[in-house]
Structure 1
Amino acid sequence: MNASNTRKIAYDIIYDVKYNKAYSNIAINKRLKKSDLDYRDRGFITELVYGTLSKLILLDYIIDVNSSISLNKISKSALTVIELSIYQIMFMDSVSEFAAVNEGVKLIKKVDKRASGYANALLRNISSNKGHVNLENIRDKAEKLSVEYSVSKYIVSRFLRIYKEEFTIELLKKLSERPKLTIRTNTLKISSMELEILLTKEGIEVEKSSMIEDAFYIKNLKNIGSNELFQKGYFVIQDISSMLAARELGAEEGEEVLDMCSAPGGKTFYMAQMMNNKGKIDAMDISEHKLKLLSGRASELGVEIINIHKKDATVFDEKMLAKYDKILIDAPCSGFGIIRRKPEIRYKEYLDVKDLPLIQAQIIANAGRYLKPGGTMVYSTCTLEKKENKDIIMSFLENNKGFILENMKELYPNVDETDGFFIAKIKKER
């Protein structure tokens, strides 16, 4: 495929995420699934989409200080092309500045021809000053970090309130890096040793995790969805932090387990694996579409003990009272711990997350009632926001007697080399 076409696909995805509230991973998969692109073009589009979406605040700052007109006067179409073109100029060594400018102007002519002259002049000006971004004029600490790391000022302000400035900067740096690709062996079908041999034969670099015995960090895996080992259900893509949450629950053979917010299913599948496909897991979720995907993947993995239920976890169900030995609550959250995986999360504001603690509190309250006496539940999130983590647990324990906090941990990308994650293990007294 020629360069202009790949950039147009990237533009369409970025525009969809920015202005139609699409999820970046779903939008990319949807577009690439329909195409016959080779792995190089797929890689280029993926890097351009994720890279641009991960630096929007910085890119807009660069535009603003170099532009003769204000940002709000630039059309959405033209602005998106300019952003993805500047990202190539500033951050993609594999693309020449000439190509970035030239292809950007070609694309502008397709989506907003009137802006082509302005865009051409702006991109050439920025290209001539490549690498020079002066943030010294920004006096406000949170705003400066917001621009530098392209994270909303609201999120930066929350981090600065929760953590020390030095730790916040280290965290923001790590959240700006590409995460490792981590997989977990599906031991229902294959051993870790056998999987490692098969992956290595395909030219995939494999590094064992020191935290989870069946997990690997891998490189050079192209077109994951079409990989034969993946299709056979030999491995699952899952971060170490997610695996640790499932392990903390410690589901065992023969138990009756509830996964209250189960989609997309990574933790559900891991619990079934730990249970050796013996027992029962009720997997709940509010999204029917996500549950269908979960069901299909469960079949590929050879998981046979999952019963799927479309349910709202915030609504109490009397039939489930004191029914479960163990419960996993992977609560809906702000996702501040995984912004390097889902760049649209970087730009969340207070209004996007203000209602989450109320939802989380209702879900954990219901879980407490669903748990058998003597049972265990784990509450986890992929955020670093205390209001959604420790505060939820402390409030639950204060308002529900007969529960004991057995363990509580926070995982940080800059400390633990995992996603940002929170895990709390609670025991119900007999």
Structure 2
Amino acid sequence: MTDNISTRELSLQMLIEINEKGQFSHIVLKGVLDKYQYLPKKERAFITRLTDGTMEHLIELDHIIDLFSKTKTKKMKPLIRNLMRMSVYQIKYMDSVPDAAVCNEAVKLAKKHKFGQLSGFVNGVLRNIARNINDIKYPDVKKEFNKYLSVRYSMPEWIVRKFIKDYGNEKTQEILAAFQSGNSISIRVNTAKCTPSELKDILCDEGVCVEEIEGLDYAFVISGFDYLNSLESFRNGLFYVQDVSSMMVAEYAKPEHGDHVIDVCAAPGGKSTHIAELLNGSGFVEARDLTDYKVSLIEENIKRHGLSNMGAVCMDATVFNEASVEKADILICDLPCSGLGVLGRKKDIRYKMTEQSLDGLAELQKEILDTVHTYVRKGKKLIYSTCTMNPAENEENVRWFINRYPEFELETSKQMFPKEIGNDGFFIAVLKRNGR
């Protein structure tokens, strides 16, 4: 450790923030990693894996603990609960960490936080789990298929049921396995500043491993670097980190020279900057979002990418704007959604969402589409997209929209599943407004 900073202590504090105080894991993790950037790469990697991994396997870890502990995880003190979870994760998934070290460090942390009276319990349960880790009993796959998938892939059972209802048993297991298969980092070249071949050379000079993506000559998968801000190429805005599935929005939009584009829910601006770059300095992209903070994120990306044909505006997509009527050649509606497609990256979303929240989001999407559809010029198009796999938010909303507004016709749509195109599940529909 460096400067007496305990990586396990940092992970424990983050897990408490996420699981007990409702904070979002990606925000908490980024905040800690930014604060402790001076730590060696190996230690930051340990913090990331331990925190992310514990979140990813939370239901499974609770299942294992409950098999060996008379006090079930739900009844434990919050600090002990999260300490046990991260310790069992190390025992089961981090072979490089000796089980004895895991148990000893857990006892030290319990004592440090004034739970010395529970140190014997922590030590005893963890050592028992370590001895039996290869013989853990899971729900019977034939008798309790839904529960088995829930525990095996740490997915709330109601989401498992929903996926099975929408996509069947086999596809559901494929989706859940894809979420746990790890995520690559894909980037999009800022063609306003450099060519793909130039960026590839620059990244290689920075010691980054670069892999080309078939069919997208402006995108790469990168690995082998320390952290993004350590790369001068990133700080200079030569590329944007974006999942390949998200890049498909601009691919489907196919902007033409001089197009005026409105993106009604644009933050942080990945899709908008992509389209602005494809316009090659022509036209204009008006990127809107609800709050000053979100607009500041867009403005930061506009500046970093050096885009002169793009601007950011604070505007509520649910409030009609008369000045926008028939102004857009392309209207981007990448709307707030349940995020069922990004559960592989944002591990904690699955534990925070409810069935009721899905219904509310589908209604919000309809409200926004109701409000903004007239912004599309006749003969031009609306791109509707979400980062979810939920027919109510995707295909059913498209059918509802076409029935309600028959001047629009569906040109094409696609539901992308995790690892099919990029890491994430994603939905895109292209709707053309008829007339002249």
TM over 0.5: yes
Match of 1:419 among 418, 424, 427: 424
Q: For residues 132-179 of structure 1, what are the alpha-carbon distances to aligned partners after superposition, in whole Å with 9 as ceiling and x for unaligned?
A: 321145743222211110011111111000112111111110111111
Q: 1:218 aligns to what SS in structure 2? A: strand
TM-score in terms of structure 2 length: 0.95
CA distance in 2, matches of 1:21, 1:136: 29
Residues 244 and 421 in structure 2, CA contact (< 8 A), matched pair in contact too: no
Partner of 2:44: 42
Pair 1:402 & 2:395 matched = no
Q: CA RMSD in A?
A: 1.6
Residues 382 and 431 in structure 2, CA contact (< 8 A), matched pair in contact too: yes
CA distance in 2, matches of 1:351, 1:119: 37
Partner amino acid for 1:71? T
Relative to structure 1, is the Cα distance of residues 112 and 303 closer, same or farther in structure 2, using a 3 angstrom cutoff? farther
CA distance in 2, matches of 1:55, 1:41: 21
Pair 1:17 & 2:18 matched = yes
Relative to structure 1, is the Cα distance of residues 354 and 112 closer, same or farther in structure 2, using a 3 angstrom cutoff? farther
Partner of 2:267: 263
Relative to structure 1, is the Cα distance of residues 112 and 396 closer, same or farther in structure 2, using a 3 angstrom cutoff? farther
Deviation at 1:419, TM superposition (A): 1.2
CA distance in 1, matches of 2:114, 2:356: 32
Q: For residues 83-122 of structure 1, what are the alpha-carbon distances to aligned partners after superposition, in whole Å with 9 as ceiling and x for unaligned?
A: 0111011001221212211112211222351332211111
Q: 1:388 aligns to what SS in structure 2? A: coil
Paired residues in the alignment total: 430
Residues 170 and 414 in structure 1, CA contact (< 8 A), matched pair in contact too: no
Q: Report percent identity of matched pairs.
A: 35
Deviation at 1:250, TM superposition (A): 1.6
Partner of 2:7: 6
Match of 1:77 among 76, 79, 89: 79
Relative to structure 1, is the Cα distance of residues 229 and 84 closer, same or farther in structure 2, using a 3 angstrom cutoff? same
Residues 333 and 388 in structure 1, CA contact (< 8 A), matched pair in contact too: yes
Match of 1:132 among 126, 132, 135: 135
Match of 2:295 among 285, 291, 294: 291
Q: For residues 5-30 of structure 1, what are the alpha-carbon distances to aligned partners after superposition, in whole Å with 9 as ceiling and x for unaligned?
A: 11111111121111222221111111
Q: For residues 270-291 of structure 1, what are the alpha-carbon distances to aligned partners after superposition, in whole Å with 9 as ceiling and x for unaligned?
A: 0110011322111111232222
Partner amino acid for 1:12? Q
Pair 1:189 & 2:202 matched = no
TM-score in terms of structure 1 length: 0.96
CA distance in 2, matches of 1:387, 1:248: 22
Partner amino acid for 2:173? I
CA distance in 2, matches of 1:111, 1:165: 44
Q: Which segment is superposed worse, 189-198 or 110-119?
A: 110-119
Pair 1:379 & 2:381 matched = no
CA distance in 2, matches of 1:216, 1:119: 45
Relative to structure 1, is the Cα distance of residues 233 and 4 closer, same or farther in structure 2, using a 3 angstrom cutoff? closer
Q: 2:287 aligns to what SS in structure 1? A: strand
Match of 2:338 among 322, 334, 346: 334
Deviation at 1:414, TM superposition (A): 4.6
CA distance in 2, matches of 1:98, 1:20: 30
Q: Which segment is superposed worse, 217-226 or 83-92?
A: 217-226
Pair 1:227 & 2:231 matched = yes
Pair 1:213 & 2:214 matched = no
Partner of 2:61: 59
Residues 192 and 277 in structure 2, CA contact (< 8 A), matched pair in contact too: yes
CA distance in 2, matches of 1:287, 1:76: 34
Q: 1:109 aligns to what SS in structure 2? A: helix
Runs of 5+ consecutive residues of structure 2 not aligned to the other structure: none
CA distance in 2, matches of 1:137, 1:118: 29
Partner of 2:321: 317
Q: Which segment is superposed worse, 187-196 or 249-258?
A: 249-258
Relative to structure 1, is the Cα distance of residues 131 and 268 closer, same or farther in structure 2, using a 3 angstrom cutoff? farther
CA distance in 2, matches of 1:153, 1:304: 48
Partner amino acid for 1:120? N
Deviation at 1:130, TM superposition (A): 2.1
Q: 1:164 aligns to what SS in structure 2? A: helix
Partner of 1:179: 183
CA distance in 1, matches of 2:266, 2:57: 31
CA distance in 1, matches of 2:101, 2:294: 40
CA distance in 1, matches of 2:318, 2:144: 40
Q: 1:326 aligns to what SS in structure 2? A: strand
Residues 284 and 310 in structure 2, CA contact (< 8 A), matched pair in contact too: yes
CA distance in 2, matches of 1:352, 1:177: 27
Q: 2:20 aligns to what SS in structure 1? A: helix
Pair 1:103 & 2:105 matched = yes
Match of 2:369 among 353, 356, 364: 364
CA distance in 2, matches of 1:112, 1:287: 42
Partner amino acid for 2:281? N
Partner amino acid for 1:387? A
